[in-house]
Amino acid sequence: MEEVERDVVVSLWGRRTVEWRFLPSVGRSGGIIILWDPQVLELVDSRVGCFSMCCIFKSLHDSFVWGLIGVYGPNDDRVRGSLFEEPRTFIRSWDVPWCLGGDFNVVRLRGRMEAD
C-alpha cells in the first residue's frame, strides 16, 4: 500500500485506539507498518528509510524506553550493504535496547543459493 488509512489500521488492530507509522510499498514489493496502543506506549521518535523504519517507544506503565526496527529486504544482492546500513544508523542514533524484525529476503535468498 502506498497510503495506510485509519480504516485499514483499525481493521488490522481490532479497535480504534491505535497509532501507526509506515513505510509505503513500491509496486507490489515492500511496505512496513508498525502499530501500537497509545494508552500503553508513547512514540518518542521515528525514522523511515528505504528498506526499514524504526520507532522509539516509552512505556506509559514504567517509562522503559526501547526501539523497534521493521525491515523489508528486497531480493537484490546489490542493495545488501544499504539494507543493513539503515538499521545500523538507527541503532547508533539512540542508546536504547532494540527489537529487530521483518523480512530479510536478501539473506534467505543468499542462503538458499549457497545450499544448492
Look up the CATH number of the domain holding residue 70. 3.60.10.10
Does some domain include residue 1?
Answer: no
CA dihedral (18, 71, 101, 67) in degrees, to 10, reads -60
Does some domain include residue 21?
Answer: yes
Domain interval for residue 36:
6-115
- Tell me how far CA of residue 41 lies from CA of 50, 65, 67, in angstroms: 25, 9, 11
- Alpha-carbon distance of 44 to 46, in angstroms, equals 7
Q: Are 107 and 73 in contact (CB under 8 A)?
A: yes
Does some domain include residue 44?
Answer: yes
Nearest to 26 by CA among 52, 1, 53: 1
Does some domain include residue 103?
Answer: yes
Does some domain include residue 71?
Answer: yes
The tens digit of pLDDT for each residue in 21-56 reads: 888 876 666 688 899 999 999 999 999 988 899 999
Does some domain include residue 11?
Answer: yes
Does some domain include residue 19?
Answer: yes
Q: What's the total number of domains in the chain? A: 1
- Alpha-carbon distance of 67 to 83, in angstroms, equals 18
Please check the confidence at residue 4 and state whether its pLDDT lies above 80. Answer: no
- pTM here is 0.78
Q: What percent of the chain is predicted at pLDDT more than 90?
A: 38
The tens digit of pLDDT for each residue in 54-111 reads: 999 999 999 999 999 998 877 777 777 778 888 899 999 999 999 998 887 665 544 4
- Tell me how far CA of residue 113 lies from CA of 75, 105, 106, in angstroms: 12, 12, 11
Does some domain include residue 68?
Answer: yes
